[in-house]
């Protein structure tokens, strides 16, 4: 029996009771359950890095605006399906102030999180042309989006961008697009799980090829402005959040409020459609929607059918936070910078104890410190690494479930690890490296 920070026999027993064939193959929620069970049995707290939940309190600005809206009676009424006017106005201002892209208020639509934004985007973008019925993921990525396509009975293709950074992206991307079946390209930037951030060169390639092959880019900005290497916090001043919208008009942006505004519980995000795409007519949309206009099909077809709009009070909450950010009264980036600071220290603790960072560079620039980072350990597969870490009081998920080819790697999320746990983390990693000497 090994000398591990969490009693070996209890962990072993809980793994057996979980019925999991292999801990390293478990889904995020299964790991959450296993670790919670071990914590309850031992009274010991894990360094929990398996789930991407925001670990910070949201600003009072949003909460107070929601309370005010509820007190004024909005709960009684259905919200306007394409969003309340003050929110549409602030989303449009936000896109101009922080991305430097002009967009009509009409093209700014609240959704029930980016989760629903993605689902609605698939429902419309993947049906614009009957010959183009497949979504292409530039992976690694967020596994639930593939689950959404499965639920919808839609097809997808994917490749891991690890070996195709910079100019190499062009040939790889074109090898998919030239087949003629791809309707839509989706990626997140910064990327969940690897935290790579695309360069202007890479975005230019994606935008140019989207024009050449007439495909729609879904740019998932779930970690908006969280490339902390640059100060993206000043409204109306460069540098801005980078975007493919500088290179094509075929885009939809999904701007989640969950992480950048720590507002995950209220399930509200923003879908922003380029004005040109909003107005564009695709005759094949008539097979599914009353209108062949992209924007109308999105609002009165997809979003209406999915949820009839987004919670009324949450719209007021988000409108107030965006207004404060747009007016320069609320520095939302400063409020989440602590994730980058945590990542910096945690990456150091891991690498000092023999771990490697799997996705470590943006072309020739070291990766930013942010919400996630990726790790591997010499001589251990990803599956074995998760199991071994669980015995040492640390939890994470396998990159294997994210479309990454780097199956030796794990994704670690910093959001739930408070600074007060760093000493524990350091001790546990030391024990880990003693118990797993590198040959
Ligand atoms: C890449 C990515 N897209 C979308 C989402 C979902 O965001 P929301 O909470 O706004 O639905 C997440 C959440 O973790 C994410 O990581």
Domains and CATH numbers, the chain: 8-44+337-435 (3.90.1150.100), 60-332 (3.40.640.10)
Ligand 1 atom at minimum distance from 191 CA: 1
pLDDT > 70: percent of the chain: 100
Specify the DSSP class assigned to residue 285. Answer: G
Ligand 1 centroid to Cα of residue 289, in Å, is 26
Measured CA to CA, the distance from residue 127 to residue 125 in angstroms comes to 5
Identify the three-state secondary structure at position 412: strand
Res. 149 pLDDT band, cuts 50 70 90: very high
pLDDT value at residue 439: 85
pLDDT value at residue 25: 84
Ligand 1 centroid to Cα of residue 138, in Å, is 16
Measured CA to CA, the distance from residue 328 to residue 330 in angstroms comes to 6
How many residues in the chain?
439
pLDDT value at residue 1: 61
> Once rounded to an integer, what is the mean pLDDT over residues 12-27?
90
54-58, 353-357, 419-423, range with the lowest pLDDT: 54-58
Res. 179 pLDDT band, cuts 50 70 90: very high
Pocket lining for ligand 1, CB < 6 angstroms: 52, 113-115, 142, 188, 192, 220, 222, 256, 258, 264, 269
Ligand 1 atom at minimum distance from 115 CA: 11
Ligand 1 site-directed mutation target among 256, 261, 404, most atoms within 8 Å of CB: 256
Give yes or no for a contact between 110 and 319, defined as CB atoms under 8 angstroms apart.
no
Specify the DSSP class assigned to residue 129. Answer: S
Ligand 1 centroid to Cα of residue 40, in Å, is 29
Pairing of strands 108-111, 361-362: unpaired
Ligand 1 atom at minimum distance from 116 CA: 11
Listed in sequence order, the residues at least 6 apart from 31 whose beta carbon sits closer than 8 Å to its beta carbon are 23, 50, 386, 395, 397
Measured CA to CA, the distance from residue 109 to residue 341 in angstroms comes to 33
pLDDT value at residue 53: 86
Ligand 1 atom at minimum distance from 264 CA: 9
> How far out from the chain centre does Cα 364 lie?
24
* Among protein residues, the one whose CA lies closest to atom 13 of ligand 1: 222
pLDDT value at residue 116: 98
Ligand 1 centroid to Cα of residue 413, in Å, is 14
Listed in sequence order, the residues at least 6 apart from 280 whose beta carbon sits closer than 8 Å to its beta carbon are 293, 294
Give yes or no for a contact between 258 and 114, defined as CB atoms under 8 angstroms apart.
yes
Ligand 1 centroid to Cα of residue 6, in Å, is 32
Ligand 1 atom at minimum distance from 112 CA: 11
Identify the three-state secondary structure at position 210: helix
Q: Which of 93, 97, 91 lies closest to 237 in space, CA to CA?
A: 97
Give yes or no for a contact between 410 and 397, defined as CB atoms under 8 angstroms apart.
yes
pLDDT value at residue 382: 92
Please state, as a whole number, how many other Cβ atoms lie within 10 Å of the Cβ of residue 220: 25
* Among protein residues, the one whose CA lies closest to atom 3 of ligand 1: 222
Ligand 1 site-directed mutation target among 258, 267, 415, most atoms within 8 Å of CB: 258
Give yes or no for a contact between 112 and 311, defined as CB atoms under 8 angstroms apart.
yes
* Among protein residues, the one whose CA lies closest to atom 15 of ligand 1: 222
Specify the DSSP class assigned to residue 24. Answer: G
Q: Which of 401, 288, 392 lies closest to 48 in space, CA to CA?
A: 392
């Amino acid at each position: 029996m090994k000398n591990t920070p969490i009693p070996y026999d209890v962990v072993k027993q809980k793994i057996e009771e979980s019925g999991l064939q292999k801990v390293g193959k478990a889904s995020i929620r299964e790991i959450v359950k296993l670790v919670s069970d071990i914590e309850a049995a031992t009274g010991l707290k894990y360094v929990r890095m398996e789930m991407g939940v925001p670990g910070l309190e949201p600003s009072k600005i949003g909460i107070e605006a929601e309370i005010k809206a509820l007190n004024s009676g909005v709960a009684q009424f259905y919200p306007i399906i394409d969003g309340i006017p003050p929110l549409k106005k602030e989303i449009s201002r936000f896109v101009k102030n922080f991305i430097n892209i002009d967009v009509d208020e009409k093209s700014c639509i609240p959704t029930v999180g980016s989760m629903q934004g993605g689902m609605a985007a698939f429902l419309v973008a993947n049906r614009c042309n009957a010959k183009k019925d497949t979504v292409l993921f530039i992976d690694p990525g967020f596994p639930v989006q593939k689950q959404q396509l499965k639920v919808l009975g839609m097809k997808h293709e994917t490749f891991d961008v690890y070996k195709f950074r910079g100019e190499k992206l062009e040939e790889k991307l074109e090898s998919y697009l030239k087949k003629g079946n791809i309707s839509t390209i989706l990626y997140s930037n910064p990327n969940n799980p690897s935290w790579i951030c695309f360069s202007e060169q890479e975005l230019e390639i994606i935008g140019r090829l989207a024009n050449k092959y007439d495909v729609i880019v879904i740019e998932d900005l779930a970690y908006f402005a969280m490339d902390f290497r640059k100060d993206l916090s000043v409204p109306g001043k460069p540098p801005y959040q980078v975007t493919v919208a500088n290179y094509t008009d075929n885009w939809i942006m999904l701007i989640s409020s969950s992480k950048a505004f720590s507002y995950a519980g209220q399930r509200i995000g923003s879908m922003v459609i380029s004005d040109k795409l909003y107005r564009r007519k695709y005759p094949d949309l008539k097979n599914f929607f009353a209108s062949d206009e992209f924007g109308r099909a999105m609002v009165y077809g997809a979003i209406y059918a999915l949820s009839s709009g987004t919670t009324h009070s949450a719209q007021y909450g988000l409108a107030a936070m965006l207004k404060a950010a747009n007016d320069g009264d609320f520095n939302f980036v400063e409020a989440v910078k602590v994730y980058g600071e945590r990542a910096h220290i945690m990456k150091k603790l891991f690498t000092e104890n023999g771990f490697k960072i799997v996705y470590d560079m943006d072309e020739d620039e070291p990766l930013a410190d942010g919400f996630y980072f990726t790790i591997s350990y010499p001589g251990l597969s990803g599956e074995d690494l998760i199991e071994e870490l669980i015995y040492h009081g640390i939890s994470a998920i396998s990159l294997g479930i994210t479309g990454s080819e780097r199956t030796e790697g794990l994704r670690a999320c910093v959001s739930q690890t408070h600074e007060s746990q760093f000493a524990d983390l350091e001790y546990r990693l030391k024990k880990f490296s003693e118990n797993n000497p590198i040959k």
